[in-house]
Structures are given as C-alpha cells and as structure tokens.
Amino acid sequence: MASIIKAMQQDQQHTAQPFDLIVVGAGIIGLATAYRALEQGLKVMVIERNSRPVGASIQNFGHACFTGQADELQAMVAKSREGWASASKDAGFWAAQPGTLIPATSEVEMSVLEEFADHRGVEQVTLLSPGEVEQRLGHNHLKPVGGALLPLDMRVNPREAAPKLAQWLEAQGVIFQWNTTLRSTADGVVDTSRGQWEAQRVVVCPGVNLSYLMPEIAQAEQVRSCTLSMALVERPEHIASDFCMLSGTSLARYDGFSAMASVPELRRELQQREPELVECIANLMVTAIPEGLLVGDSHDYHDSPTPFIEESIATLLQNKAAAYLGVKGLRVKQRWQGTYADSPATNLVIHRPDQKTLVAVVASGIGMTLSFGLAAHILSEC
Ligand SMILES: Cc1cc2nc3c(=O)[nH]c(=O)nc-3n(C[C@H](O)[C@H](O)[C@H](O)COP(=O)(O)OP(=O)(O)OC[C@H]3O[C@@H](n4cnc5c(N)ncnc54)[C@H](O)[C@@H]3O)c2cc1C
C-alpha cells in the first residue's frame, strides 16, 4: 500500500512539473536524445512501455559501422562517434575502437576494398596483406587474398550499453516512466496508459512499433519490419576478445562500400559463389562481447513477421562464420530473431506532425551507428 501511495505521489509530482522534453522510447535513439538533452540542461522525461530496454537496441551486434555509411552520412556519424565516446565514459559502459576487419576472400572483394581505400583515404581504411589478415584472424585456414581494417569504427556491448545509459540518465535526474505506453501525442501533451504529461517538446522514438503507434506515418514512409537470424556462440580461444568482422556480403550491403565501381561485379560473384547467402539476404558478420561471439545475420521483410527462426538459415550463417573463424563448428549458446524498422524508401524517418512533436525512426540496420549523431540532429530540428 505504501508503495502505491508513493507511486501516486510521484505521479502527481511529475504531473505538476513542466518538462522541457518528453522522449518516448528507451531504445538507443530515445536514450541518446535524452543524453543530448541533458547535456543542454533540459528537464527530461522518458516514457517506455517495457520495464527496461529490450528492443532492437539490445538485439544487435553493437557495431558502430561509421566508415561503411554513405558519404552524405559522414557528418552525422562523426557526431555519433563523439557521443558514444562521451556517453560510455559518463555511464560507464564498454566502448572501444578495435577496428573492423574485412578479410577479402576473392580478387573482386579486394578490388572493392582498394577502391574504398582510394575514396576515403588511409585515415579511414588500412589495406592489409594476406599475412596481416591471418594474424588478425588468429589462424591460416581461410587463405584470404588480402583485406582491410577500418580503424575508426566503434564497438559496444549491446546488452550493456542502453541499460547502463538509462540507469545513468535516471541517476542524473531524468525521469523514467517505465511500463508506460504512449497512446497518442499532440501539441506537447502525451496521453499514456498511466495518464497525461505535458512538455515544451515531445520526441517519439518507437522503432519498429511506429507501424501501430502512427500508422499513417509508417505507411507514408513504407515502414515495415526486418527480421534477422542471430546467434551467440562460444568464442574460440584464438579469436580476440574485441573481435569485429565484416565479410564480402557486407561490402555489397552498406551504402558506403556499395557505391564502389566493382560492387556490381561482386554481387554477380556472390550470386554464383554463395547463392544461399544471397537468397537469405545475408550480411555475414561477427562481433565479440564478453559472453561470446555474436554471429548473423539474414534479412526478411514483412509488415507482420512470423516469430519463427528458420534452422537452415541459422545453420548456414553459423557454418559460414565458422569458416572465417577457422574452426569446424561453433557451439551455440543462444539464438534469437532480431527485429528492426526498415523502409525501402529511406534510412531515416523524421516527421513533424505538429510544432511540438517530432517522430524519429532509423529505418535500416544502422541505428546504433547513427544514434548520437541523429540525437543531435533531432534536438536541433524540434
Ligand atoms: C539483429 C540486429 C542487428 C543489428 N545490427 C546493427 C549494427 O551492427 N549496427 C547498427 O548500427 N545497427 C544495428 N541494428 C539496428 C539497430 O539495432 C536499430 O536501428 C536501433 O537499435 C534502433 O533503435 P531504436 O531506439 O529506434 O529502437 P528500439 O531499441 O527498438 O527502441 C524503441 C523503444 O520504443 C519503445 N516503444 C515503442 N512504442 C512505444 C509506445 N507506444 N510507448 C512507449 N514506448 C514505446 C519500445 O518498447 C522500445 O523500447 C541491428 C538490429 C538488429 C535487430
């Protein structure tokens, strides 16, 4: 009873307080926005329908793939890098720059990397010899023709970063309304499952849930769900504890690489060499976290995806990753189907339904990468 009275008193107190900013969604986009707002001295409330972050922001690789993004996004990712660095220091979560390794297993893959190195310069792309790739892989079974290291990319542990950032923000005085669902918002008033609050500005970051929360915006921007097959596997001893690797499929996928002249040829090669990876729209990559290696992923697009993980796809990704890692098999500790918002029309959904409301959704698998840069943009726009 005492706790119910305390909760009611807290609710009343919060209702009485004018907020400068209400953020809806405690995924990385909402939390990064709250972090930037706190930096500006704003009084902030975060509304989240779950009791902790459990969305796309904890389901991913924890790979801030700054270098692989399109040229037009480089200013935003530079701000994001700076934000991740300062937030990790403040909130006390791991963020490192071990560099992204991209082994080239064919001459065409190497051509793409060489073109990319020419385009971006040595500060962003270090070309590697076959021996240097083997040294970084910790084995000599792959027989790479060369490779590259992207030294400016960052790594975080996705299971740690958002939860720790939320905890830290709460300790700094940001009010969190957990287990509270936004129903609608207009002109600075949010209507939730626990009542109404008001703020000068409201930023809505619902991720893939945009589709049921604001279906008109989702429909206009062609937002759909993308589901991905993921696994946590035991890390073989020879693989570094901060390991981070992309593959040829990643070169065909990320906008920065895929703008290179040899990519159409790479796509033809992948179709011939590994049609099963092309079929499941794979972006084969591996990152290390303390619990093991994160291995994925495939892509499937639907407005209402089924929850089932296709075992043949999960096994395919696992076996392909094992070949890169120089082992016969990998012991799987966990599997899950990740989900993020996607749109074939845009990478970023930014809408202003009214003067006081801004809706922001990353509609591609790059939300960790853009987060803190996007947050700065959100606050300058609303
Ligand atoms: C398997 C996988 C791998 C990925 N790999 C990478 C990667 O390597 N690099 C990268 O940059 N990105 C990656 N991504 C993409 C990245 O994870 C997402 O783009 C990013 O996490 C989106 O953050 P978000 O805050 O918008 O969404 P979320 O983390 O999903 O957060 C949205 C939050 O809003 C809350 N919410 C929704 N509706 C309401 C409501 N009505 N009321 C209250 N709360 C609500 C939800 O509960 C949720 O907590 C990957 C994603 C997946 C799934």
Q: Would residue 74 count as lying in a domain?
A: no
**Residue 32 in domain:** yes
As to burial, measured by CB atoms within 10 angstroms (0-12 exposed, 13-18 middle, 19+ buried), residue 115 is middle
Cα four-point dihedral sign 320, 326, 327, 331: negative
Mutate to test the pocket of ligand 1, among 368, 370, 374, 377 (most ligand atoms within 8 A of CB): 368
Question: Is residue 42 situated within a structural domain?
Answer: yes
Tokens of 264: 């159409």
Could you count the other beta carbons within 10 Å of the beta carbon of residue 379?
A: 18
pLDDT at 84 (0 to 100): 98
Rounded to an integer, the average pLDDT of 93-121 is 98
Report the domain count for the chain.
2
Let me know whether 133 and 119 are in one domain: yes
Asked if 245 and 328 sit in the same domain, the reply is yes
Integer Cα distance of 366 and 347 in angstroms? 8
CATH number at residue 50: 3.50.50.60
State residue 382's pLDDT score: 84
| Same domain, residue pair 120 and 182 | no
24 lines ligand 1 (CB under 6 A): yes
pLDDT-based confidence at residue 3 (cuts at 50, 70, 90) = very low
124 with 165, same domain: the answer is: no
Pocket lining: 49 vs ligand 1, CB cutoff 6 Å:
yes
Residue type (1 letter), 230: M
Spacing, Cα 57 to ligand 1 middle (Å): 4
Burial call 331-356: b when 16+ CB within 10 Å, e when fewer: eeeebebbbbbbbeeebbbbbebeeb
Residues written for the chain: 382
CATH classification of the domain holding 331 = 3.30.9.10
pLDDT at 212: 94
How confident is residue 7, by pLDDT bands cut at 50, 70 and 90?
very low
Query: Based on the domain organization, do 230 and 265 belong to the same domain?
Result: yes
Which pLDDT value is given to residue 85? 98
Kindly state whether residues 358 and 232 are assigned to the same domain.
no
Atom of ligand 1 nearest to the CA of 158: 17
Please indicate, yes or no, whether residues 12 and 122 belong to a single structural domain of this protein.
Answer: no
Phi, psi at 218, each rounded to 5°: -60, -40
Please give the pLDDT value at position 381: 87
Q: Judge if 324 and 230 occupy the same domain.
A: yes
Q: What is the pLDDT of residue 18?
A: 83
C-alpha 63: how far from chain center = 7
Q: Is the CB of 163 under 6 A from ligand 1?
A: no
Q: Is the pLDDT reported for residue 16 higher than 80?
A: no
Q: Which residues of 239-273 are buried (b: 16+ CB within 10 A; e: fewer)?
A: beeebbbbbbbbbbbbebbbebebbeebbebbeee
Mean pLDDT of 348-371: 98
Which residues, listed in sequence order, are joined to residue 244 by a DSSP beta bridge?
Answer: 287
Answer yes or no: is 69 within a domain. Answer: no
Based on the fold, state whether residues 163 and 213 are members of the same structural domain: yes
pLDDT exceeds 60 at position 13? no
71, part of any domain:
no
Range of the domain at 31: 2-61+159-221+346-381
Same structural domain for residues 238 and 214?
no
Interval 171-226: pLDDT, tens: 999 999 999 999 999 999 999 999 999 999 999 999 999 999 999 999 999 999 99
CB of 50 within 6 A of ligand 1: the answer is yes
Mean pLDDT, residues 2-27: 66
User: Does residue 333 share a domain with residue 189?
Assistant: no
* Burial (CB count within 10 angstroms: exposed 0-12, middle 13-18, buried 19+), residue 143: exposed
Do residue 194 and residue 273 come from a single domain? no
Specify if 73 maps to a domain: no
* 142-156 confidence digits (pLDDT tens): 999 999 999 999 999
Given ligand 1 and candidates 31, 60, 281, 347, which is best to mutate, with the most ligand atoms within 8 Å of its CB? 60
Dihedral sign from CA coordinates of 59, 61, 64, 65? negative
Q: 128 CA to middle of ligand 1, Å?
A: 34
Residue 313 domain flag: yes
89 lies in some domain: no
User: Looking at residue 217, what is its pLDDT?
Assistant: 98
Reported as a single tens digit per residue, the pLDDT across 32-91 is 999 999 999 999 999 999 999 999 999 999 999 999 999 999 999 999 999 999 999 999
